[in-house]
Chains A and B, each alone.
Chain A
Amino acid sequence: MRTRVILEGIQMKRESKSFTDALYAVLTAAGLFQGPKFMLSGLSGMAFKFSVHEKLYFHSVTAYGQWGQEHGPGIDNLGIYTVYDGGRSRHESFREYQRIAIESVKQSLDRGRACIYWIPEFGVIHGYDEEDQVFYVQDGKSGGTEYVLYDNFGINFTSFWYCQYIGDKVDIPLQDAVLESLRLALEDWETPYKILPDQSIASGRLAYSFLIGALQQGDFDNSGAVYILESYLSSRSEIRRYLEEVQSVLPGLGEVHGIYAQLEKIMRLQLAASLPVAPGNRVLLPEQLPSLCAVVQQAMELEEQAMQQVRVISGQYPDLKRSILPRWGAHTAR
């Protein structure tokens, strides 16, 4: 163990979902991923994840499931080894797991690999100082580095702590990876609730209904709504660019791309009207809510069409993984 490590070439930038931004920073610096961020977001299936709390709270954007179960299959589809530590910081065993995780982060950094860490939201640990007992953390927003004391590792205002490590890589043929990314997307689309028994947050198709329902009813968190919609739009933009890039890889994918291109266009226009660019607090204009609802409804129908086509494409190829009942997933320990 060295006394101080700072990894070069780590520069997290908030553009996508925070997990994707963190993963991109970690993988590109380690030479494990080449290419633009939308490709990472598409291949990992992260771009397709869409979750909405019934009151449109801010945390909707990261509440797309039990993280380990959501991130693992996405990173697996890149051919990259990954493990995570995490849980609830109120558990009696937290200090013991915290101690183990701190060692794991340092070992990972010693091997030249940064870690993804829930600040919140997700950020990157890119260094440590043994003398000062601190980790160096980037959140992708300020451009600078924050410090997290070893003692405070994992402690934050949410009840969760989470840290993800990456390892080596095997090559996965592009066609296989694209097909699997579509299947991950379809799973997210078709799973109404990802954090059962909690039913206040919906995923995929049902997330649209939650969004429309809240906007119509009017009793929602406005800044949360802004964040959900902006994140949603940037994800759809990533999906469109991803599919543009890979549409020739699988027959029928061009059609899916066309649908997402249309979806992105109507949504971008509507959000420009509903969310005028203004400094400071951005809010949804109330007079625009009816037309916003109508466009979100249209977007839902378009995405349903896209997913129908994805289902047809997926059905052309065997899917061993999903024909066997696993012994993990669905819910994590608590």
Chain B
Amino acid sequence: MRDKHPLTISYVDALHQVLSAKGWFNLPKPMLSGMTASCFRLSVHRQLHKDSPTAYNWAAEHTVAADLIGIVAGQSAGYHFAPTFPLYQKQAILDIRGSLAQGTGVVCWKDQFVVITRSDDRKQLFYYNEMSSGAELELPYAQLGRNTTPYWYCQIYEGQIRKELPQVIRESLIQAVYKAEVHDPLLPEAQYACGLQAYDAMLEAFSGDAYDAAGAYETLVFYASCKKDAASYTNWACTYMPGLDKTAGHYASLSAVYDEITARLGVNTLLPAATRRQELITLLREAQRIETAAIQSIRGLLREPIANRFHDVGLR
């Protein structure tokens, strides 16, 4: 975990730590990223603000993520400035201690996703792992949820039901289609774009000057790691799903293009700004073309189950 790029840390990193420690998930992280469909999410702020990687519906997506892999989970979330927050904090402290007593870590929001691994009732302290540094840090009970960002969130894992791998893979790919094609209703369309539409928003942002350069870098480094996960995942999943190799090929190419993109956005480049921007636009168009083809290939492969969802691809 220590060699992780801090900008690519996600909910899946935290989830993977909890589930592998518990023995509930024994594959490498990209497989979790794929099976939970997390690596298929793409949503961006239209000025590419740095909140893009975490601006999504945690409550909804993390519930589905856990359910897709047969993990039984409960979660709660809210604003810590709400008058009722102390009631929720009190219950969350009880629930987290209960989970730790069962030997199960808890994923919480501490201005990034972290894992609470142990507690000390005498000192009234939780201990959590910061995913990027790998450091173990202290969190007083009373500070749980009182973050710099206005949100508090935690997800508690209560058990596991058996799932068949081919079925898990199939559903994750259907969710990939859903994420590519449907705008997240949580995000105002005037400010955010989702799925394949995110490319038009990125192209528009890079064609003008009204984008946040630091945010753009953070956003694309994050999504580059998602594409890398998608490439590893689909490549691995070919064993369980004949015909998926074409999709896997698309994601491998897509991941390579994203590496080119992040190289253009990095600070070390010596190319003039205008040239870099032109190259960036060309690369994004290429990424758009490949990802569209990837989604089309999944649609082709899973024509019947997708058609059975009628007007709502995401509805399991």
The interface of chain A, by Cβ under 8 A from chain B, is: 76, 79-81, 83, 88, 91-93, 96-97, 100, 167-170, 172, 176, 196-198, 320-321, 324-334
Contact = CB atoms under 8 A, between A and B. Distances in A.
Given A170-B84, A333-B64, 11 more contacts: A92-B70, A169-B87, A197-B311, A198-B311, A321-B79, A326-B79, A328-B57, A328-B78, A329-B186, A330-B184, A334-B316
B59 A93 contact: no
B265 to A, nearest CB: 25
A92 B163 contact: yes
Interface residues of B, number: 44
B72 interface: yes
Given A91-B316, A93-B67, A197-B312, A327 B153 contact: yes
Contacts of A330: 57, 60, 184-186
A333 B63 contact: yes
Interface in B49-64: 54-61, 63-64
B291 to A, nearest CB: 22
A81 B88 contact: yes
Contact of A327 (B56, B83, B161, B311): B56
A320 B67 CA distance: 33
B135 interface: no
A169 B91 CA distance: 13
A331 B57 contact: yes
Contacts of A329: 57, 59, 186
A172 B83 contact: yes
Contact of B84 (A80, A88, A325): A80
Interface string B29-48: 00000000000000000000
B60 A333 contact: yes
Nearest to B77: A328
B87 A331 contact: no
Given A93-B161, A333-B64, A100 B72 contact: yes
A97 B160 CA distance: 11
Contacts of B182: 197
Contacts of B56: 327
Contacts of A333: 59-61, 63-64, 67
Nearest to A197: B312
Contacts of A324: 79, 150
A236 B231 CA distance: 56
Contacts of A83: 76, 91
Interface of B: 54-61, 63-64, 67, 70, 72, 74, 76-79, 81-84, 86-88, 91, 150-151, 153, 158-159, 161, 163, 182, 184-188, 311-312, 314-316
B60 to A, nearest CB: 5
Nearest to B188: A325
Contacts of B78: 328
B77 A97 contact: no
20 contacts: A76-B84, A79-B84, A80-B84, A92-B70, A93-B161, A100-B74, A170-B84, A172-B83, A196-B185, A320-B81, A321-B82, A325-B188, A327-B153, A328-B77, A329-B57, A329-B186, A330-B184, A331-B185, A333-B59, A333-B60
Contacts of A196: 185
Closest 3 CB pairs of A and B: A333-B63, A328-B59, A81-B87
Nearest to B153: A327
